[in-house]
Chain A
């Protein structure tokens, strides 16, 4: 029941707003309730350390296809729900004055949030997929109507990229469904997991490749990443927060949830390709990030780059690395949301995000400078933040795979190269911070006001989350690792 509430509260609120309820208030309350319910599930109901899914409820949809509307959570999906709830709440709080179609704006945001919630809570492939797609048209509208810059092109690009990616993903899911013998055929995760051993190796390879391309487009895996920076640069800040922070994580969640446990041999076959591509994310996109001259583009690129580490965790093939990937998904979602939110605030006040035109803003916006600094440190992966924990776990986990003092395998080489990414992100983040907040204050920015005090609440929650899981990663790992343990004991 509590899960049903979490999933449908945003959607019902969105419909209510479309029907005429006061937009901002309803949205905030809905997000608040969802957050509270998620916290309740996290603190109260959920029993960590147990395998399998909890809070399961199921409603039959199509007996011919064995499609059921089944929702339930395990540790991994619980943490994704927490992330979604927190970021949604922050994104709605960060939403400033909307000049036109205010109702539609909040409704779109809530639809995205509801879609993400539904996708993470679904135990049925069909709904897992369908809920994610629920976000597609709201994203299109959000960027198209309320975006800035080259919004039209960005809206088309993200929509067509994501539509293609998700149809490829759909093919992969159907292939997966068909690869299981008739009697065991089902769209249910749990049933599929039981039948996973029956999938022949060559079929696994094909399915994994299709899933990797499909999810890869959604996650902006190199070389399918070009939609992301442009879309995030043009999107209004709350939309970018939700999309980069939560929705993009859907693909990673999908890989962790589906591809690893169901297709272990397929994953092994394509591991080399995945590692090469993710190094493209880290090194190539990382260098491209340094070259950016506008803050919004830089953040967009950096979010693409950080996907590389999460992929590395997924490819690592060790329990430590996979846990690290989960931590990093969470940590990155929080830090990038905070960065996009602050960037939106800066744009609202100065009207520009070109780094060269900014400068010295730290004098007039001390609160923003502090928050941005913290978020930037988190994003670089300074010790104490959850990002650091995640990255360290990923890198150690990967290095350990097949470690051999005589000879480096691809895992060790990948780790060494990926470490350079940390330096790269330090370069662009710190440079951006210096150019925005340090230096002499320009005459034009004298009148700029600081971000309002009320924003301390969402910023505080986000930072606290990042610090808590940075200092006490065990509290996170304890929840998600039962899920992953079962992947590695199966072999």
Chain B
């Protein structure tokens, strides 16, 4: 049995609406039921994504299919978005008590329903974005994602830091949207097209002026740089990450970043014939690597540390983008998803008891060996220790860079990896050889324990056996033969 790809997005949308309806019409139920419903539904969609009819769009496609593709990359990132959302929802269940404290409301669970429903709509946006091959479509799906994030970031609105984060995110994000639209306008003005493939053909013809197209492209790049937190568009990241509710931070740093990179991979392909773009991206990658890693060194708050580390990882990913290695970037993103979400899951649980500074992790190994071990794996993977997914991610990225003779990027990359070891192991140090202030074990729900175990297993499995991910990114021969519209 096979189904068409757009069904997936529609299903997710229906789940989101269903959860909202439940919330609206059944006031009495435990709001956490909503989250469980959503997780269950999304898992169903995830399973359904393995029964898709393959469908490709080419430059000649018209109508819906000139906006939308279901190539392996798109399907891959749809699954990526689904997995991320499911994990974020698990985190949100753990985080629910904190939300309840800081939301006004008449009943004891006011606000939780929306808190659980909004990520589903973000997920729809991410999934559309994975398939978008037209600037208009890219813009619309990006906005869907950003809108829901506006609300989520400032959700715990009694907390001033959260409000600050919300305002910062709102203003800067709106500004970057402006850049995006303006850039698209320029490109449309030059080429008369919005479909990426047709833009590429138009650009290839000698009659086109490259100057204005390049200008438009730089504007688009600025907007995407904001999404992926590349230097110098990273100013919002530390404050927003620290202020936003932790599950939302995790969602921002994984979902939003992955979406940005998918679009970047798609958009840059038509433009990579221009050497200026490559030079510009190389500079951005260098700045991102250096800034992210150096600024992470002195951090003492784990959430802020992870914010800077997310900038640093954007740098490694950009190396892959500059080297035109879509496969390496995708693999790195998967590794990044696993290890970032694992560290945030542990953070949510531990922060409930003590706090989110690195000091609050002191002696965690004694209090809760399992949590400490999970964090150890996450940090080892983020730093790039072999037998974890993070190492293979770096391996593929560096390989791609070597293939393209990006010597400067490689040298800087190796130095920053060493920096990374310092700040990630700082967390390990706190957990394993500092004495803890109290000896009370951190309470851990069964669902969270299960999720963490799954993430640990995933990190180690992909660290040893990467082939499944590599296979998923490539159209198999049968698929290519049977193109279905």
Stretch at the interface among A159-167, A193-201, A433-441: A159-167
The reply to whether A145 and B414 form a contact with Cβ atoms under 8 Å apart is no
Taking the closest CB of chain A, its distance from the CB of B176, in whole angstroms, is 34
The reply to whether A170 and B432 form a contact with Cβ atoms under 8 Å apart is no
Q: A23-43: which residues lie under 8 A (CB-CB) from chain B?
A: none
Q: A111-170: which residues lie under 8 A (CB-CB) from chain B?
A: 129-131, 133-134, 136-137, 140-141, 144-145, 155-156, 159-160, 163-164, 167-168, 170
Taking the closest CB of chain B, its distance from the CB of A344, in whole angstroms, is 20
Judge whether A426 is part of the interface by a CB distance below 8 angstroms. Answer: no
Q: Bound complex: CA of A175 vs CA of B403, how far in Å?
A: 9
Binary per-residue interface labels of chain A (282-323) against chain B in the complex, 1 for a CB within 8 Å, 0 otherwise: 000000000000000000000000000000000000000000
Which residues of the partner chain B approach A454 to less than 8 Å between Cβ atoms? none
The reply to whether B433 and A145 form a contact with Cβ atoms under 8 Å apart is yes
Q: A160-185: which residues lie under 8 A (CB-CB) from chain B?
A: 160, 163-164, 167-168, 170-171, 174-175, 177-178
The reply to whether A137 and B380 form a contact with Cβ atoms under 8 Å apart is yes
Binary per-residue interface labels of chain B (385-425) against chain A in the complex, 1 for a CB within 8 Å, 0 otherwise: 11100010001001100110000001000110110011001
The reply to whether A130 and B391 form a contact with Cβ atoms under 8 Å apart is yes
Tell me the dominant secondary structure on chain A's binding face. Answer: helix
Taking the closest CB of chain A, its distance from the CB of B405, in whole angstroms, is 10
Are A144 and B433 also in contact (CB < 8 A) when A62-B470, A134-B386, A170-B398 are?
yes
Q: Bound complex: CA of A8 vs CA of B395, how far in Å?
A: 24
Central interface residue in B417, B421, B422, B467, by most chain A CB within 10 Å: B421
Which residues of the partner chain B approach A101 to less than 8 Å between Cβ atoms? 365, 432
Q: B454-485: which residues lie under 8 A (CB-CB) from chain A?
A: 464-467, 470
The reply to whether B421 and A133 form a contact with Cβ atoms under 8 Å apart is no
Taking the closest CB of chain A, its distance from the CB of B383, in whole angstroms, is 8
Which residues of the partner chain A approach B383 to less than 8 Å between Cβ atoms? 163
Taking the closest CB of chain A, its distance from the CB of B361, in whole angstroms, is 15
The reply to whether A164 and B418 form a contact with Cβ atoms under 8 Å apart is yes
Are A137 and B398 also in contact (CB < 8 A) when A156-B422, A163-B417 are?
no
Taking the closest CB of chain B, its distance from the CB of A148, in whole angstroms, is 13
Judge whether A63 is part of the interface by a CB distance below 8 angstroms. Answer: yes
> Of A61, A164, A178, which is within 8 A of B465 by CB?
A61
Which residues of the partner chain A approach B422 to less than 8 Å between Cβ atoms? 156, 160
The reply to whether A171 and B402 form a contact with Cβ atoms under 8 Å apart is yes
Taking the closest CB of chain A, its distance from the CB of B349, in whole angstroms, is 21
Taking the closest CB of chain A, its distance from the CB of B466, in whole angstroms, is 6
Q: Bound complex: CA of A131 vs CA of B385, how far in Å?
A: 10
Q: Bound complex: CA of A171 vs CA of B470, how far in Å?
A: 21
Judge whether A406 is part of the interface by a CB distance below 8 angstroms. Answer: no
Taking the closest CB of chain B, its distance from the CB of A469, in whole angstroms, is 33
Taking the closest CB of chain A, its distance from the CB of B290, in whole angstroms, is 16
Judge whether B198 is part of the interface by a CB distance below 8 angstroms. Answer: no
The reply to whether A133 and B386 form a contact with Cβ atoms under 8 Å apart is yes
The reply to whether B418 and A160 form a contact with Cβ atoms under 8 Å apart is yes
The reply to whether B432 and A145 form a contact with Cβ atoms under 8 Å apart is yes
Q: Bound complex: CA of A156 vs CA of B429, how far in Å?
A: 10
The reply to whether A63 and B395 form a contact with Cβ atoms under 8 Å apart is no
Judge whether A64 is part of the interface by a CB distance below 8 angstroms. Answer: yes
Which residues of the partner chain B approach A62 to less than 8 Å between Cβ atoms? 465-467, 470
Are A61 and B386 also in contact (CB < 8 A) when A137-B380, A159-B421, A163-B421 are?
no
A164 nearest CB neighbor, chain B only: B418
Size bracket, chain A contacts: 20 to 34
> Of A64, A131, A134, which is within 8 A of B467 by CB?
A64
Interface size of B by CB at 8 A reads 31
> Of B402, B466, B470, which is within 8 A of A175 by CB?
B402
The reply to whether A144 and B432 form a contact with Cβ atoms under 8 Å apart is yes
Central interface residue in A140, A156, A167, by most chain B CB within 10 Å: A167
Q: Bound complex: CA of A134 vs CA of B463, how far in Å?
A: 12
Q: Bound complex: CA of A101 vs CA of B415, how far in Å?
A: 33
> Of B385, B415, B464, B467, which is within 8 A of A137 by CB?
B385
B474 nearest CB neighbor, chain A only: A64
Are A130 and B467 also in contact (CB < 8 A) when A160-B421, A164-B414, A174-B399 are?
no
Q: Bound complex: CA of A61 vs CA of B464, how far in Å?
A: 7
The reply to whether B421 and A168 form a contact with Cβ atoms under 8 Å apart is no
The reply to whether A140 and B428 form a contact with Cβ atoms under 8 Å apart is yes
B419 nearest CB neighbor, chain A only: A160
Taking the closest CB of chain A, its distance from the CB of B412, in whole angstroms, is 12
Q: Bound complex: CA of A130 vs CA of B388, how far in Å?
A: 10
The reply to whether A171 and B386 form a contact with Cβ atoms under 8 Å apart is no
A214 nearest CB neighbor, chain B only: B414
The reply to whether A167 and B433 form a contact with Cβ atoms under 8 Å apart is no
The reply to whether A174 and B402 form a contact with Cβ atoms under 8 Å apart is yes
The reply to whether A178 and B402 form a contact with Cβ atoms under 8 Å apart is yes
Which residues of the partner chain A approach B417 to less than 8 Å between Cβ atoms? 163-164, 167
B369 nearest CB neighbor, chain A only: A18
B402 nearest CB neighbor, chain A only: A174
Q: Bound complex: CA of A104 vs CA of B366, how far in Å?
A: 11
Which residues of the partner chain B approach A168 to less than 8 Å between Cβ atoms? 414
Q: Bound complex: CA of A156 vs CA of B383, how far in Å?
A: 14
B396 nearest CB neighbor, chain A only: A65
The reply to whether A174 and B421 form a contact with Cβ atoms under 8 Å apart is no
The reply to whether A63 and B467 form a contact with Cβ atoms under 8 Å apart is yes
A140 nearest CB neighbor, chain B only: B425
> Of B384, B414, B433, B467, which is within 8 A of A171 by CB?
B414
Are A134 and B418 also in contact (CB < 8 A) when A62-B466, A144-B433, A170-B398 are?
no
The reply to whether B386 and A129 form a contact with Cβ atoms under 8 Å apart is yes
Q: Bound complex: CA of A156 vs CA of B423, how far in Å?
A: 10
Which residues of the partner chain A approach B428 to less than 8 Å between Cβ atoms? 137, 140-141
A59 nearest CB neighbor, chain B only: B465
The reply to whether B398 and A174 form a contact with Cβ atoms under 8 Å apart is yes
B373 nearest CB neighbor, chain A only: A18
Which residues of the partner chain A approach B386 to less than 8 Å between Cβ atoms? 129-131, 133-134
Q: Bound complex: CA of A174 vs CA of B415, how far in Å?
A: 17
Q: Bound complex: CA of A93 vs CA of B383, how far in Å?
A: 33
B422 nearest CB neighbor, chain A only: A160
Which residues of the partner chain A approach B395 to less than 8 Å between Cβ atoms? 170, 174
B468 nearest CB neighbor, chain A only: A62
> Of B385, B402, B415, B464, which is within 8 A of A136 by CB?
B385
Which residues of the partner chain A approach B421 to less than 8 Å between Cβ atoms? 159-160, 163
Taking the closest CB of chain B, its distance from the CB of A227, in whole angstroms, is 12
> Of A130, A159, A174, A178, which is within 8 A of B387 by CB?
A130
Taking the closest CB of chain B, its distance from the CB of A208, in whole angstroms, is 16
Which residues of the partner chain A approach B402 to less than 8 Å between Cβ atoms? 171, 174-175, 178
A147 nearest CB neighbor, chain B only: B433
Interface contacts beyond A130-B386, A137-B425, A163-B417: sample of 4 additional A-B pairs, CB < 8 Å, sorted by A: A63-B467, A130-B387, A144-B432, A156-B425
Interface residues of A (CB under 8 A from B): 61-64, 101, 104, 129-131, 133-134, 136-137, 140-141, 144-145, 155-156, 159-160, 163-164, 167-168, 170-171, 174-175, 177-178
12 A-B contacts (beta carbon < 8 Å): A61-B465, A133-B391, A140-B425, A140-B428, A144-B432, A164-B414, A164-B415, A167-B384, A167-B418, A168-B414, A171-B402, A178-B402
Which A-B residue pairs are the 8 nearest by beta carbons? A130-B386, A133-B386, A164-B418, A163-B421, A145-B433, A167-B414, A62-B467, A174-B399
Interface residues of B (CB under 8 A from A): 365, 376, 380, 383-387, 391, 395, 398-399, 402-403, 410, 414-415, 417-418, 421-422, 425, 428-429, 432-433, 464-467, 470
